[in-house]
């Protein structure tokens, strides 16, 4: 489907570091009808609320100044674990042949973390990656925004958008 980003039946993953929506396009490439198949969430407060210990100190040889270890970013560790959970869920769905086309939508930092966690079987099915934060939008609004992107791309390549 060279002029559409989200073909009929495609799995659409909309996520951030704490929430992910698994959506299925039940409509066409230009008239998206996204249906929620699953939602995963995790509680991930900021690092300042998760860790209470001060960073450790390192004493070198006598006469050298002490230095502190970096603080642990508990928030980022939780996001990385969540990305691994998402990647494993997609891996299971890919092996069960539950999707042929995958569209991944997440903020740039989260998208990079997900890319590192994805298995080859999942990567081979990715048709589009969109670096945007859309988890706070309603599903109908996500469909409208993505449909508009598909129509703009179709016009850009000289193909009329289907109605």
d(CA 77, CA 84): 11
Taking a C-beta distance cutoff of 8 angstroms, is the pair 135, 111 a contact? no
Q: Using only the alpha carbons of the chain, give its radius of gyration.
A: 20
Has residue 3 got a pLDDT over 70? no
Residues 6+ apart with CB under 8 A from 126: 102, 103, 104, 118
Q: Sign of the C-alpha dihedral, residues 107, 112, 113, 118?
A: positive
Quote the pLDDT of residue 80. 84
Percent of the chain exceeding pLDDT 70 equals 69
83-127 per-position pLDDT tens digit: 899 999 999 999 999 999 999 999 999 999 999 999 999 999 999
- Which pTM does this prediction carry? 0.76
Quote the pLDDT of residue 1. 37
User: Of 5 and 7, which is predicted with more confidence?
Assistant: 7
First to last CA, the chain: 16
Instruction: Tell me the average pLDDT across 125-145.
Output: 94
Has residue 52 got a pLDDT over 70? no
Report which of 131, 134, 119, 123 is spatially closest to residue 87, judged by C-alpha positions.
Answer: 119
Averaged pLDDT score across all residues of the chain: 82
Question: Looking at the domain 11-42+74-156, which fold is it?
Answer: Nucleotidyltransferase; domain 5 (3.30.420)
User: Of 158 and 126, which is predicted with more confidence?
Assistant: 126
Domain ranges of the chain: 11-42+74-156
55-74 per-position pLDDT tens digit: 555 556 666 666 665 666 66
User: Of 68 and 41, which is predicted with more confidence?
Assistant: 41
């Amino acid at each position: 489907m060279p002029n559409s980003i989200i073909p009929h039946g495609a799995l659409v993953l909309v996520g951030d570091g704490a929430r992910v929506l698994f959506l299925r396009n039940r409509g066409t490439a230009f008239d998206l009808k996204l249906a929620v198949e699953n939602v995963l969430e995790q509680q991930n407060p900021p690092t300042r609320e998760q860790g209470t210990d001060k960073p450790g100190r390192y004493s070198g040889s006598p006469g050298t100044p002490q230095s502190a270890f970096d603080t642990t970013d508990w928030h980022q560790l939780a996001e990385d674990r969540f990305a691994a959970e998402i990647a494993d869920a997609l891996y299971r769905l890919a092996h069960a042949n539950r999707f042929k086309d995958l569209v991944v939508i997440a903020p740039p930092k989260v998208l990079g973390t997900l890319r590192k966690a994805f298995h080859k079987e999942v990567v081979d099915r990715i048709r589009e990656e969109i670096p945007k934060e859309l988890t706070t939008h309603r599903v109908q609004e996500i469909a409208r925004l993505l449909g508009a992107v598909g129509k703009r791309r179709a016009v850009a390549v000289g193909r009329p958008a289907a109605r």
